[in-house]
Amino acid sequence: MSDVCLILEGTYPYVAGGVSTCVYQLIKETPHIKYSIVYIGATQDSLKEYKYPIPDNVKLIKELFLFDYDLKGKTKELGIDFDFAKLTEFHKGLRKGKVDGFKEFYHKFFDPDKRVCDPIELMESKEAWDFLVQFYERQFTGENGLSFIDYFYSWRFTHYPMFKILSADIPRAHLYHSLCTGYAGLLGAAASIKYKRPYVLTEHGIYSHEREIEIYQADWIYNTDKDYRAKKNLSYFKEWWIKTFHFFSKVAYHHADVITTLYQGNKERQIGYGAKRSKIELIPNGIRVEDFTEIKDSSEKNEKKAIALVGRVVPIKDIKTFIKSISYVKSKTKDFVAYIMGPTDEDEDYFEDCKRLVGLLGLEEHVVFTGRVDIKEYFKKVDLLVLSSISEGQPMVILEGYAAGIPTVATDVGGCKELIYGGSELDKEIGPGGLVVPFGKPDDLGEAITKLLLDEEKLEKLGQNGFKRVKKFYQENMTVTNYMNVYNRYLSSSL
């Protein structure tokens, strides 16, 4: 049995990013804690190689794949005594965001020691089919109702991964800790229920909010409205997906003993989504400032000004807005280079779109896609960092830039404003470490970049402010100590 079971969705150790870096940091800096890891991914085919080392105190890595169709059990008749009322109650709760009955629902249908049927029977038995047909007919009548085929496949694609998670074999641990809500939070809640062990939930970005953004933009979710004019209301199926993810969040919030997040704005959003204020604690990110000191103290000068966006080339980072902002910068000065530093293989179609945009705007001599690189080496020649994201938590790269004396221009998302202008009054006294602009506005972003890029004295001052901020408030040892304080509340009696 491990001390802590980390439940990770699409992050460490297979996917590089801020959350993954924080997980690796936590494991590495707490060698006395024995960890197990449950990694949740889409399909086994999506796995590649580890992006991070695996420290010796990780004793088990278990992988779960949401869309590998291997639910346990054999399909058979459920019988006339099967309690469909509980299924109906669960689905009504899912639509309305009510989670009080989730514990009983889990025990009755998914707990291996108590369930009344195999999980596969909830998907593929005749009774399950009849139940779905009746449920559909109660909601939609007449020729103007939604297509049952569309309804069926939406039900299957939302419920199969949910049932897969709830029926998973969960490693035993003294404490469970998920790094988001979503499917990881659902499993964390189930583990807490099954083994009667404490559950800690950490959110960097707000999962349900990020999924909502993706669903708004999605073209793979069927839309019943064929009118291409802008509409205020979402399609039924998009609302269905959004309600599903909000339900997952509420389940996790309800069953978590402690909820941690990065900054005050996140805390307020969690409360808005249903978390109890009394459960939430703030644990900001932290870095090893000394790892970047050599860069800060370097006296090397670049031949030309260098801008860098550090992040995955994916839509939520809004790389296209960054590229368009560079077109604005080019209209004011030609003597610069703009690096896009991060993996390009997560969404290859989006990467190709970004390369085409660079070509269309005639930016080939200015924009460089580096792929995943050692940022410490690149930081030696970077003057200004830029984030154009439409959603963030508390970006590690801003802190890393500060430690190297590099200021940031960022969009007003997540904790960026707090990192740049300060959170507490004491923090604000330090002064700004860059500029903040609205997201999705390339000219505003370009103007802010140009303003700083052409003002050497301003760049220097903002970089100094950022260094003071990270050194005073965002050191790695502070973050690790805060997490250990949470762990020790529950582990001290178990170890």
Interacting residues of 441 by C-beta distance below 8 A, sequence separation 6+: 321
pLDDT above 50: residue 484: yes
Quick one: 313 and 219 in the same domain? no
Q: Is residue 136 part of a domain?
A: no
Strand, helix or coil for residue 369: strand
Question: How far is Cα 421 from Cα 65, in angstroms, rounded to an integer?
Answer: 41
Q: Is residue 134 part of a domain?
A: no
Could you tell me if 188 and 244 are in contact, meaning their C-beta atoms sit under 8 angstroms apart? no
Strand, helix or coil for residue 92: helix
Q: Is residue 362 part of a domain?
A: yes
Q: What percent of the chain has pLDDT over 70?
A: 91
Quick one: 436 and 313 in the same domain? yes
Phi, psi of 347 (to 5 degrees): -140, 85
Question: How far is Cα 442 from Cα 124, in angstroms, rounded to an integer?
Answer: 49
Q: Is residue 10 part of a domain?
A: yes
Q: Is residue 410 part of a domain?
A: yes
Q: Taking the model in full, what pTM does it have?
A: 0.85
pLDDT level of residue 10 (50, 70, 90 thresholds) = very high
Quick one: 199 and 317 in the same domain? no
Could you tell me if 323 and 357 are in contact, meaning their C-beta atoms sit under 8 angstroms apart? yes
- 152 to each of 59, 143, 147, how far by Cα in Å? 41, 17, 9
Q: What is the pLDDT of residue 118?
A: 83
Question: How far is Cα 375 from Cα 121, in angstroms, rounded to an integer?
Answer: 50
Quick one: 10 and 98 in the same domain? yes
Select from 174, 204, 200, 179 the least CA-distant residue to 256. 200
In the chain, the amino acid numbered 40 is I
Quick one: 165 and 277 in the same domain? yes
pLDDT above 80: residue 470: yes
pLDDT level of residue 72 (50, 70, 90 thresholds) = low
pLDDT tens for each residue of 373-423? 999 999 999 999 999 999 888 999 999 999 999 999 999 999 999 999 998
Quick one: 383 and 398 in the same domain? yes
Quick one: 251 and 326 in the same domain? no
Could you tell me if 42 and 69 are in contact, meaning their C-beta atoms sit under 8 angstroms apart? no
> Where in 322-372 does DSSP place strands (E)?
336-341, 367-371
User: Three-class SS string for 236-280?
Assistant: HHHHHHHHHHHHHHHHHHHHCCEEEECCHHHHHHHHHCCCCHHHE
Residue 435: beta bridge partners? 409
Peptide bond into 161 cis (omega under 30): no
Q: What is the pLDDT of residue 94?
A: 77
pLDDT tens for each residue of 265-294? 999 999 999 999 999 999 999 999 999 988
Quick one: 299 and 274 in the same domain? no
Question: How far is Cα 290 from Cα 403, in angstroms, rounded to an integer?
Answer: 8
End-to-end CA distance of the chain: 11
Could you tell me if 483 and 26 are in contact, meaning their C-beta atoms sit under 8 angstroms apart? yes
pLDDT level of residue 90 (50, 70, 90 thresholds) = confident
pLDDT tens for each residue of 327-357? 999 999 999 999 999 999 889 999 999 999 9
Quick one: 362 and 269 in the same domain? no
Q: Is residue 428 part of a domain?
A: yes
Quick one: 83 and 56 in the same domain? yes
Average pLDDT on 218-241 reads 60
Quick one: 435 and 384 in the same domain? yes
> Would you state the structure tokens that stand for residue 286, as one six-digit string?
């932290």
Strand, helix or coil for residue 18: helix
Q: The domain containing residue 93 runs over which residues?
A: 1-124+154-286+475-495
Q: How many domains does the chain have?
A: 2
Question: How far is Cα 227 from Cα 223, in angstroms, rounded to an integer?
Answer: 10
Interacting residues of 237 by C-beta distance below 8 A, sequence separation 6+: 150, 154, 221, 222, 223, 224
Select from 239, 233, 175 the least CA-distant residue to 492. 175
Quick one: 80 and 51 in the same domain? yes
Phi, psi of 161 (to 5 degrees): -65, -30
pLDDT tens for each residue of 119-173? 888 888 888 888 889 888 888 766 556 788 888 998 999 999 999 999 999 999 9
